[in-house]
Chain A
Amino acid sequence: MTHRKRQFGNARSSWLIIAAVVVVTFLGSFLLITYLRSRPTNPVKSSALPDMPNKPQPLLRSFNGCPPEGDGGDPDLNRLKNRIDEGQYISVTFDAVEKLEWPNTIERRRRADWNSGDSATVARYEGLPVTIEGYVAGAREEGPESPNCHGADASFRDFHIWLTRTAGEDRTNSIVVEMTPAVRAQHRNWNTELLGRIVRDKDKVRVSGWLMLDPEHPDQVGKTRGTIWEIHPVMRFEIVQNGRWISLDDFTP
């Protein structure tokens, strides 16, 4: 009798242990799923650029008297550089832009002189609103240029920024992203001093803007840049502070 009671007691203990394990497993799974669903995540990045047959048309406006087509050079290229509209940015990988090819027959040629096949090839991706993440390898204020009507004042200058995949990397495989005068005028913190600090501190950044092919610098590919595809103009510039992305305008060093 006592032996039977003990057996019954052992069996009941076993069932209780199994039940406890099941309950703990179930609760653990539930809590894990709840946590994974609630934690902040970045948008999924695409390793390939999306097709967007109907891209937003650039919004153009003169800036301090300088028309969107500039004062010479390639007016079609200048109009792309001088757009000021925001987009619904698509997060893509650094490589999706850096590895994107272009027809070499367009190099150093005005858009009006491109053949229709080349124009169509470039148009497939040009004008995409994209976001990429990376690190700033360097930045500089440019000299007077045709898109900015060769304005002598510093307010008419582009900021040329080299973005790299990893921190501390040289510019060989960089993507050039450019802040333009009209957009820069809307952002109090877009200045070379702060960009210089970001370079030195090797902060991770997130850049959003319009994908554009600049055919003027193919000789620099593999030297001071990895591609002639650029994000130009940059419309948003964010930096990680206290574990979250904030606008450069809200950044307090």
Chain B
Amino acid sequence: MRKAIALRVNLWIEGEAAPEHDFADSTKQAVRDIIAAGVSSHPDLSVKIRGIVEANDTDENPIN
């Protein structure tokens, strides 16, 4: 049978960059590249990136 799934992936990415460098923009592109490069390892799967957004959990439960 044909199956499908929507996965929500939570990534933590670190790297060196100039302070003013748009890190959100460049890491989103990097993730697209990483997924595109890895898709060839799974030719039986069709993978589409529907969106990549920066996690903004500022209003989640407080720690204290």
Chain A residues near B (Cβ < 8 Å): 62, 65-67, 69, 71-73, 137-146, 149-150, 152, 160, 162, 171, 176, 192, 195-196, 199-200, 216-217, 220, 223-225
Contact = CB atoms under 8 A, between A and B. Distances in A.
B46 interface: no
Contacts of B63: 138-141, 192, 196
6 contacts: A67-B20, A72-B24, A149-B23, A216-B56, A224-B60, A225-B59
A67 B64 contact: no
Contact of B24 (A73, A139, A140): A73
B62 A146 contact: no
Nearest to B57: A143
B20 to A, nearest CB: 5
A71 B57 CA distance: 19
A224 B63 CA distance: 14
A224 B20 contact: no
Contacts of A141: 63
B59 A71 contact: no
Interface residues of B, number: 19
Contacts of B61: 138, 140
Contacts, number: 67
B64 A71 contact: no
The SS class assigned to the B binding surface is loop
Given A146-B24, A149-B23, A224-B60, 15 more contacts: A66-B19, A66-B20, A69-B20, A71-B17, A71-B21, A71-B24, A72-B22, A139-B62, A140-B60, A141-B63, A142-B58, A143-B55, A149-B19, A196-B63, A199-B64
B33 interface: no
Interface of B: 14, 17, 19-25, 55-64
Contact of A71 (B14, B19, B56, B58): B19
A123 to B, nearest CB: 24
Contacts of B19: 62, 65-67, 71, 149
A71 B62 contact: no
A81 B6 CA distance: 36
Nearest to A150: B23
Of the candidates A139, A144, A199, A225, the one having the most CB atoms from chain B within 10 angstroms of its own CB is: A144
B62 A138 contact: yes
A66 B19 CA distance: 5
Contact of A217 (B17, B25, B59): B59
B21 to A, nearest CB: 6
A251 to B, nearest CB: 16
A143 B54 CA distance: 11
A192 B57 CA distance: 17
A72 B25 contact: yes
Contacts of A73: 24
A141 B20 CA distance: 22
